[in-house]
Amino acid sequence: MRRKGMPIDKEISEKRKRQCLKLVEISKDIVRQAFDRFRPEELGITWTGGKDSGLTLWIIHQVCQDKGISLPKTMIIGEGDEFEEIEQFVERTKKEWNVPLEICRNEDVLKAANNTLNASIEVKALNERNRAELQRIGFEDDEFPFEAESYVGNHLMKTVVFNQFLERNKIKGIFQGLRWDEHPARFNDEYFEHKEGEYLAPDHTRIRPILHFTEKDLWDTYAAFQIPYCVLYERGYRSLGARTTSQISVEGIPAWEQDLENTEERVGRRQDKEKAMERMRKLGYM
């Protein structure tokens, strides 16, 4: 029996392998351009333990090996609701590739919530920075529940933590594992996007080397080059986020064996979208 977690048990033809290699080469070129623009210590990597940031990290790792340099500082966001399987995978990969990893958390919020999901957090219990962040996004209540997927939770647990990582390490360019086909909101994303600094958010450039990979390209590349991945994908998850909000897409069917091209990557209420869209299309002049 094969070892769980790698490699993917899927036949990849030579032709398909060449196609995947081409996609990887395009990504490597983006990564090399990033190293031309920024000094290695000005670069950072976002990692989640998921498939997209995992492929990105693998590609950057390859470029760094070619260049004989070590990986840029890598961040992973701890939201307080992690899968154990992801933590194990991250720990293993970190050792294997020598990833200079920082686990970043909004400790102030976690403390105020007593590390308990759905606990109510009082705004006045937070430090000055977090209170300023709440004001910045227009939050007007006195308390909110501790949930990473809510607007407030997302901002405090992810955006703020991300910005603080950039500030702390004086990072100018940050790698992200986004793909055009993962969500319609990503269709117009660019490989390099400069974000002007503003109040509480530092000036930086976002670098997205794997934008052009479709979900199928991604899994074929994992299989073709035996890239390690988190075991949860074997159980039917296609997209991994927080533990309590991620859902299995098809129980027991590995992600790469699912119908990637005709079904949604993220399971949820969007299932009925087409029906609803059809009704909306019938609206008057709009």
Partner 1 sequence: MVEVISTGCQRGIPGNVEMPLGVERLPNGNTLITDAGDEAGFGSEIVEVDPLGNIVWNYHEGLRFAHTGRRLRNGNTLITDTTNNRLVELTPDKKIVMNSDHWSGGTGQLSDGSHLHYPNEAFEMEDGTFLLTDRNNDRCIQVDREGKVLWSFGGKELHHPHNANPLQNGNILISDSDGNRILEINRRQEVVWSYGDGSTQILWWPRGAIRLENGNTVITDSKNHRIIEVSPAGKVLWRFQTEHVDKFYITHATKEATFLIACTDGHHQVIEVDRTGNIVWLFRNYRRPVSIYARLTNGFFKEIGENGWPKHWVLATRLSEGGGSVVWDQDHKPNPCPGLEYDRSGALFLQQSLMVTPGATYRVGAEIKTASAKGTACLHLDFFDSHGGSLYHAITEMPSGNLFTGTNDWTHDMFETKVPIRTTFAELRLYINDSGKVFIRNVMMNRI
Q: Which residues make up the interface to partner 1 (CB under 8 A)?
A: 136-142, 147, 149-152, 154-155, 159, 184-185, 188-189, 198, 268-270, 272-273, 276-277, 279-286
Residue among 29, 27, 67, 36 nearest 217 (CA): 27
Comparing CB distances to partner 1, the nearer of 81 and 220 is: 81
For 96-132, what is the HEC assignment? HHCCCEEEECCHHHHHHCCCCCCCEEEHHHCCHHHHH
Buried b (16+ CB within 10 A) or exposed e, 18-39: ebbeebbebbbebbeebbeebe
Centre a 10 Å sphere on the Cβ of residue 279 and count the other Cβ atoms it contains: 8
Comparing CB distances to partner 1, the nearer of 6 and 242 is: 242
Give the position of tokens 């990503």.
Answer: 186
**Positive or negative: CA dihedral 17, 44, 164, 201:** negative
**Least distance (Å) from partner 1 to the CB of residue 156?**
12
Comparing CB distances to partner 1, the nearer of 6 and 137 is: 137
Comparing CB distances to partner 1, the nearer of 17 and 206 is: 206
Comparing CB distances to partner 1, the nearer of 19 and 154 is: 154
CA-CA distance, 115 to 117, in Å (whole number)?
7
**Least distance (Å) from partner 1 to the CB of residue 173?**
17
**Least distance (Å) from partner 1 to the CB of residue 141?**
7
**Least distance (Å) from partner 1 to the CB of residue 150?**
5
**Least distance (Å) from partner 1 to the CB of residue 277?**
5
How far is C-alpha 239 from the geometric centre of its chain's CA atoms?
10
